[in-house]
Amino acid sequence: MIPTTIRDGEHVEAVVVGGGQAGLSVSHGLVEAGVRHVVIERDSIAHEWRDGRWDAFTLVTPNWHCHLPGYPYDGDDPDGFMTRDETHAWVRRYADTFDAPVAEGVAVQRVRRRPDGVFVITTSAGTITADTVTAATGGYHRPVVPTWAAQVPAHVHQVHSHEYRNAAALPGGPVLVIGTGQSGTQIAEDLHLEGRQVHLAVGRAPRVARFHRGKDCMTWLAEMGVYDIPIATRGLAKRESTNHYVTGRDGGRDVDLRAFAREGMGLHGRATGIEDGVVHFDDTLAANLAHADSVADSIKDDIDAYIAREGIDAPAEARYVPVWHPEPGPSTLPLDEVATIIWAIGFRADWSWLGELDVLDPEGLPLQDRGETSVPGFRFIGLPWMHTWGSGRFHAVARDAEHVADAITRTVRAAVPEPTP
């Protein structure tokens, strides 16, 4: 990495906003192509891996999925799962493998495009111009909490999932986790393993088994080409789907909410609000658990079909049998019996810095096709389902970044007049 300073009034060929794995991957291609550019990072390289995860966090994809341009995973546990700190260190080392020009601690405040097609980038360190701009900030910017969170009594501690670190950092007493995506289920497990009384509001998130028939399910899916399926064949609504929950902790295992309930975790349906100091949950728990199980089974069905079609010698495996069933009906939980609420219901994108650029749909989501937008020279990278299922993961970010870097290079070269013979 080359530490870079933003110089007010300077012009560069390309600006990449965001210094995570996606932005660095684009920078790698631009360095190779000789494109004069700068990566602008508001904090430090890959800081979200360190600052936005809890202490026991691990990747849910096997380490061999981690492959950035010119930088495959080189550790001694390709089928394992890197921890939070290992992932942070691995991405930071990537920036040091090539001359990535990164300006750390600089916030991009606004981007606009002049009539002549040049972009004006206003930052906390000054204003520069560029021929192209690429947004590599992901889509998870502002933590979401419901409006009725304001009704939570003052004695109940509230924290969003990205602020959670460990059980010891919370006040003593029972914890209510709201949300069952990857973060919510894994945080609930972390607290459960620490001996805390946990209540979990269960939504419609699907789950996937960690292993099936002798191999990690995500390894099977990669071999089957599932992560290479383009969004065009699945529909744009797929971009908003919730990731399947599973964990890489302790070598990887299923997250079985039914087993947690049998061990004492309180499971509830979707949280609908608070009334007179009591949280109300709807009557969807049984259906939501059954839905998660059915998705896990359908993935196993696909793997079984692939094994049979390809004639692969794989051990047989019995199917999952539910170990616990909930009582029917809605439920309630008095907040006098809760010390902490952890909100794990996701994030909202914040693209306000894009100014008047017409690159968002009416709901504020990026309008793009494999990173390209209707604004010449402006691109996205690192979005979930940007091009394929693997786009938001280490598995395919290299492929997406190489495509975007090539497009940037073509744009920059086209802007330079050919020399007169």
Say what percent of the chain tops pLDDT 70. 96
For the ranges 56-70, 135-149, 203-217, which has the lowest average pLDDT?
Answer: 135-149
Q: What is the pLDDT of residue 388?
A: 84
Averaged pLDDT for residues 54-70: 96
* Residue range 83-96: mean pLDDT, rounded: 96
| Beta pairing class for 142-143 and 198-201 | unpaired
User: DSSP 3-state assignment of 178?
Assistant: strand
The domains of the chain, with CATH numbers, are 2-141+349-415 (3.50.50.60), 143-343 (3.50.50.60)
- Return the residue matching tokens 């390209």: 372
The secondary element (H helix, E strand) that includes residue 101 is strand 101-104
* pLDDT, position 416: 59
Task: Determine the Cα–Cα distance for residues 193 and 189; give it in Å rounded to an integer.
Answer: 6
How sure is the predictor about 233, in pLDDT bands with cuts at 50, 70 and 90?
low
Q: What is the pLDDT of residue 238?
A: 43
Q: How confident is the model at residue 86 (pLDDT cuts 50, 70, 90)?
A: very high
Confidence of residue 32 (pLDDT cuts 50, 70, 90): very high
- The helix/strand/coil state of 150 is helix
pLDDT tens string 171-210: 999 999 999 999 999 999 999 999 999 999 999 999 999 9
Q: Which helix (H) or strand (E) holds 382?
A: none
DSSP tag of 129: E
9-23 pLDDT per residue, tens: 999 999 999 999 999
Q: How far apart are the C-alpha atoms of 374 and 405, rounded to whole Å?
A: 17
Beta carbons of 48 and 25 less than 8 angstroms apart: no
CB 402 within 8 Å of CB 33: no
Note the pLDDT of residue 239. 45
Token digits of residue 21: 């794995």
What does the pLDDT read at residue 389?
Answer: 77
How is residue 187 written in tokens? 């945080």
Q: Which residues, including other chains, have CB under 8 Å from residue 354's CB and lie 6 or more apart?
A: 111, 135, 360
Q: What is the pLDDT of residues 399-412, one digit of tens each?
A: 999 999 999 999 99
Q: Phi and psi of 121, rounded to 5°?
A: -110, 110
Q: pLDDT band for position 421 (50/70/90)?
A: very low
Distance CA 39, CA 1 (A): 10
Kind of pairing, strands 211-212 and 215-216? antiparallel
Rounded to 5°, the CA angle 159-188-79 comes to 115
Tell the burial category of 340 from Cβ atoms under 10 Å away from its Cβ (0-12, 13-18, 19+). Answer: buried
The answer to which of 109-113, 239-243, 325-329, 340-344 has the lowest mean pLDDT is 239-243
Question: Does residue 371 surpass a pLDDT of 80?
Answer: yes
Is 4 a residue whose pLDDT tops 80? yes
Cβ atoms of residues 98 and 70 within 8 Å: yes
- Between β-strands 126-135 and 119-123, what pairing exists: parallel, antiparallel or unpaired? antiparallel
Average pLDDT, the chain: 93
pLDDT of amino acid 234: 57
**Tens digit of pLDDT for each residue in 378-396?**
999 998 878 887 777 787 8
The band of 241, judged by pLDDT with boundaries at 50, 70 and 90, is low
The pLDDT of residue 207 is: 96
Residue 40 has pLDDT above 70, yes or no: yes
φ, ψ of residue 41 to 5 degrees: the values are -125, 125
Task: Give the tokens for residue 213.
Answer: 């028939």
Q: What is Dmax (Cα atoms) for the chain?
A: 83
User: Is residue 29 scored above 90 in pLDDT?
Assistant: yes
